[in-house]
Amino acid sequence: MILRRYIMRTVLRPFAGILLFLIAMYLAWGASKLIGAGGAVSMTVTEFMSVIGLQTQVALEVLLPFALFLAIITGLGQLTASQEALAIRANGGGDRMLFSSVAGMGVLAALLIGAESIWLRPQAYQHIYTIDAAIDQDTDFRRIEGGEFYISQMTEGDASGRVIFADRREDDTLYQVFMARTVNGRNEFIFARDATQQSGPDGERVMDFTQGYLYQLTEQGDASEDWHLAFNDMRLKLQPQDHPDPGNRRKAKSTEVLSNSTEPFEIAEFQGRYGAALSTLLLALLAVPLSRHAPRTGRYTRILFAAVFMIVYYNLNSLARTWMELGNVPLFPGVFWPQLLLLSIFIGLVWPVGRPRRQRVGGHPA
């Protein structure tokens, strides 16, 4: 028990630090991406924090397995490099103890990822889509600041949306205004010297543009259908964006609903949720033999090796989902062939270790 606890501490110490570092990096990246895309302009602080937190929760499906995989390779690799592994074996701690110790952590991590992927992730996406829809329904452009884009989020399978930019703002007036939106399948662009949001006769929100140009272009590129006009004053009624029910979008659908689907996109989503837990366990087990076979020139080399391995593996996972969505692979292996590849590598690395050695006559090993 003492050796088992020592092995687990050797792995868990770096695991905690690596996971916290990865979460911090993802939070910074997610926040900068949301701000850079202009989505944060139309959000309150609460909405912004909620979206970032929910996105980070979903990202744990990748961050936690990566942190555990890296911690096992670096922790056990350090034991091998410092000859502690030999001392553990000399005291009765063989490969079975290593595998059983890591397997316990792998099973626990797989259960957590399975619960997140199968039950919690759909709920997280429902909340994210609900916030996006509520923001797009809010047509109050008085929150726009100069030099920032206001971007109406686009929905899956729908390219409609709205973009507004103003060079500067003075009180309630925007100056050097640009607006782009899609109206009945046509792209509409407005350039104006200034714009002010007002209330219409029925209480609806309207934008009053002054001295500008309006262009309408067809998406098919037929120039004969395109037109433009110049105006001194123009009033535009601000219509809320239409959004489908958040619960009907693929990533927000429950696993039970997806299990009855025949659509390739939804089958790929369904299989991927179970594949996340399977990947977590297989990566944890595979890290044990890889910690011995990984380059032993130093800790940073092992970290680089583990990072490259994970990048390649998750790119294969994305490829598997894409093939499944396009209908290029049957239901089995479906999106599970990267996990089958992991299992094959694991068996190839472990099998020679567990296979008994042949004995010559006289008891000497061959």
Q: What is the pLDDT of residues 204-225, one digit of tens each?
A: 778 899 999 999 988 766 677 7
Model confidence pLDDT, tens digit, residues 256-299: 999 999 999 999 999 999 999 999 999 999 998 888 765 455 66
The reported pLDDT for the residue numbered 214 is: 93
Name residue 206's beta-bridge partners. 198, 237
The reported pLDDT for the residue numbered 314 is: 94
Measured CA to CA, the distance from residue 288 to residue 181 in angstroms comes to 54
Q: Are 263 and 253 in contact (CB under 8 A)?
A: no
User: How are beta strands 149-151 and 205-218 bridged, if at all?
Assistant: unpaired
Model confidence pLDDT, tens digit, residues 55-113: 999 999 999 999 999 999 988 877 766 666 556 665 666 667 788 888 999 999 999 99
- Checking if the pLDDT of 361 tops 50, the result is no
Cα–Cα distance list, 39 to 42, 132, 289 (Å): 6, 9, 45
The reported pLDDT for the residue numbered 21 is: 96
Structure tokens belonging to residue 353: 């270790």
Measured CA to CA, the distance from residue 175 to residue 209 in angstroms comes to 10
Q: Helix axis angle, 95-115 relative to 264-293, nearest 10°? A: 150
Which of 358, 203, 335 lies closest to 275, judged by CA? 335
Q: What is the layout of strands, in order, in the sheet containing 186-199? A: 149-151, 162-170, 173-183, 186-199, 205-218, 227-237
Please compute the mean of the pLDDT values over residues 221-243 and round it to a whole number.
78
Higher pLDDT, 331 or 38: 331
**3-class secondary structure, 212:** strand
Give residue 154's pLDDT band: very low, low, confident or very high (50, 70, 90). Answer: very low
Measured CA to CA, the distance from residue 365 to residue 60 in angstroms comes to 48
The reported pLDDT for the residue numbered 91 is: 61
Model confidence pLDDT, tens digit, residues 1-14: 677 787 788 889 89
Which residues, 6+ apart, have CB-to-CB distance to 100 below 8 Å?
A: 4
Measured CA to CA, the distance from residue 358 to residue 98 in angstroms comes to 25
**3-class secondary structure, 96:** helix
Measured CA to CA, the distance from residue 26 to residue 316 in angstroms comes to 21
